[in-house]
Chains A and B, each alone.
Chain A
Amino acid sequence: MIGVIALAVGVVLGLWLDPTVPDWVQPYLPIAVVAALDAVFGGLRARLDEIFDAKVFVVSFVSNVLIAALIVLLGDELGVGGQLSTAVVVVFGIRIFGNASAIRRHLFKA
């Protein structure tokens, strides 16, 4: 619950402050956002499964973001940044879909 409220506050804050993104963050921000979304969906699912653990959530959130950024960084260094970004987005997309369907089953029993 606190997470949902914080998310809403963050959205409002982002709209209000309109922060500028530093140059070095720019390539990683979209991937990091997707990774974080995956963690949030995972957390939501765990909560509905009643196995939610704050520690797991925090660790998975941070590690998701860091690993995603690292993969993109590595890809950029190897010259396959675009392809790796796509791969990361695809993987996280599949995971988000999986979590979303689990949440859907919980909420609608369908």
Chain B
Amino acid sequence: MADPRGHRLLSGTLIAVLCLALGVALVTQVRRTRAGDALADQRPQDLVVLLDGLRQREAALHKEIAESEATLRRLRESGQGAGAALEEARRRATALGVLAGTVAAAGPGVRVEITDPRGRVGPETLLDALQELRAAGAEAVQVGPVRTGVDSAFSGSAGRVRLDGTDLSPPYVIVAVGDPPTLAQALNIPGGVVDSVERAGGGSRIAQSERVEIAALRPERSHKYARPAG
């Protein structure tokens, strides 16, 4: 105090030191805050609240994950189910197409040739042949150029047989897909088709084959009134 110059120097130094310390502290604090190390100097109560919030959020997210996984699983299963159903539907459509005559068919079967030199083989004999073949399990049948279907009808008279409005001319060729021995046997039974043809003065030749092809198609019918029920 006695020396004003020394006093001034001392106070100047003190001020400088304090301001220096403030600068360092300021920068340090700003840096620490920027670094995001904010949790370190939080109070326990605040930390508990934070932790609680985080736990709740975690639980909610876990629940969401579980729900999403369940949805994913359900969708996958339904996707697989839909694929299987589609496959089954395609398979059935093809099978029904063979039955309805809208798709070509090939497989083991028989080829029957009925000759009629005297013109006395009538539509009922051919119908008989078709019935017998069907009864024996023929899955697809073609008579002459006509594929037979559920609504096929023979008409006309002996020597001028018509099938579904198409004129047939002897020799009548019937191709059927099915078990060849069974089909041949069905035609050969006593009093059956072969006998009827012989009585009418015609001849028949049955050839069993491991592969016959039925290429003729029936036009697809569109139903005007009937709709699937149930």
Contact = CB atoms under 8 A, between A and B. Distances in A.
B19 interface: yes
B25 interface: yes
A40 B16 CA distance: 11
A15 interface: yes
A6 interface: yes
B21 to A, nearest CB: 7
B29 A6 contact: no
Interface residues of B, number: 27
Contacts of A2: 12, 15-16, 19
Nearest to B37: A26
Interface stretch (A57-65, A90-98, A99-107): A57-65
Interface residues of A, number: 38
Interface in A1-17: 2-15, 17
Interface string A45-85: 00000000011011001100000000000001001011000
A7 B20 contact: yes
A8 B22 CA distance: 10
Contacts of A26: 32, 40-41
A-B CB proximity, top 6 nearest:
A10-B23, A14-B27, A54-B11, A6-B19, A6-B16, A10-B20
Interface of B: 8, 11-12, 14-29, 31-33, 40-41, 43, 45-46
